[in-house]
Amino acid sequence: MTLTHLSEWTSFGGTLSVYEHESVITRTPMTFAVYTPKGEGPFPVLWYLSGLTCTWANVMEKAGLQRMAAELGLMIIAPDTSPRGDEVPNDTSYDLGQGAGFYLSATQAPWAEHYHMDRYITEELTQIIADNFQSDMSRQGITGHSMGGHGAITLHLKNPEQFKSCSAFSPITSPSRVPWGQKAFTAYLGKDETIWKAYDASALVKSGHTSSAHILIDTGTADNFREEQLKPELFVQACEASEQKLTSRLQDGYDHSYYFVASFIEDHLRWHAEALG
């Protein structure tokens, strides 16, 4: 496997680098970004999963995380949100296809050949980071925004030994019960809703997929997707019933944008740094 170095910038004493490689799992070129703080590694690793229509660039350019990541000595990994390319299936809507991989492994045509973002992150990209960067893979956390928050929580709950800390901004916590998730799951996984539960954070917790981690969630009260698409209260109820440790905060006046993420990214980075030691 060959990594192609696409670009690099110095930021708060550390280095933000962007790479491309040919993925065995998605069968496409994949791009990802790494922020490495200044100093001697290995560094604890925090994965950031982005939301619908996004790439690695959204968090690295808009969240302002480099200053605090440098101070805390955290390496940040930002994968893309889906496979991409002229030969990769797509859809005319923003919430399906390229940019909308939903961090799952598709089983339905035409998506099943390329759309395996959960395995790409937990298997292939994890190994790439371990082999090529100053990373301490015994200390990994995961966070994300919106669709990426869904990905962060579900990947954590299914891989608690890999991702030892977890947080999310405005996550889709019950995708089986909201339009975004129902559309994506039907396309990628088929109509059998029992299969959907493996990718639904609330359903996972209800079925016993809990962890010893204390999960942090922030959602804005002015988020226009909160009532229809996010439904954080359903995940709160599931965690309370299953005794999963959770802090779920409603932040007054904040919406779904990166202005919101940037306002609370320091809280989340400190949360992970403390949990990862």
**φ, ψ dihedrals at 56, nearest 5°:** -55, -30
3-class secondary-structure state, position 19: strand
Active site residue 242: no
How far is C-alpha 157 from the geometric centre of its chain's CA atoms? 13
Parallel, antiparallel, or unpaired: how do β-strands 43-49 and 135-144 relate? Answer: parallel
How far is C-alpha 23 from the geometric centre of its chain's CA atoms? 18
Of 146, 174, 202, 211, which one is the catalytic site residue?
146
Active site residue 214: no
CA distance 40 to 220: 37
Go through 5-38 and write b for each residue having 16 or more CB atoms within 10 A of its CB, e for each that does not. eeeeeebbebebbbbebebebbebebbbbbbbbe
Cα–Cα distances (Å) from 15 to 65, 76, 120, 201, 262, in that order, read 12, 11, 24, 33, 19
Identify the DSSP state of 115: -
All residues at 6 or more sequence positions from 131 whose CB lies less than 8 Å from its CB, including other chains:
none
Residue 72, H or E segment: helix 66-72
Of 82, 135, 223, 272, which one is the catalytic site residue?
223
Task: Name which of 100, 102, 104, 103 is nearest 88 in CA terms.
Answer: 100
Active site residue 218: no
Compute the radius of gyration of the chain from its Cα atoms.
Answer: 17
Of 114, 116, 256, 268, which one is the catalytic site residue?
256
Task: Name which of 130, 141, 135, 129 is nearest 277 in CA terms.
Answer: 141
Could you give the residue numbers annotated as active site?
A: 146, 223, 256
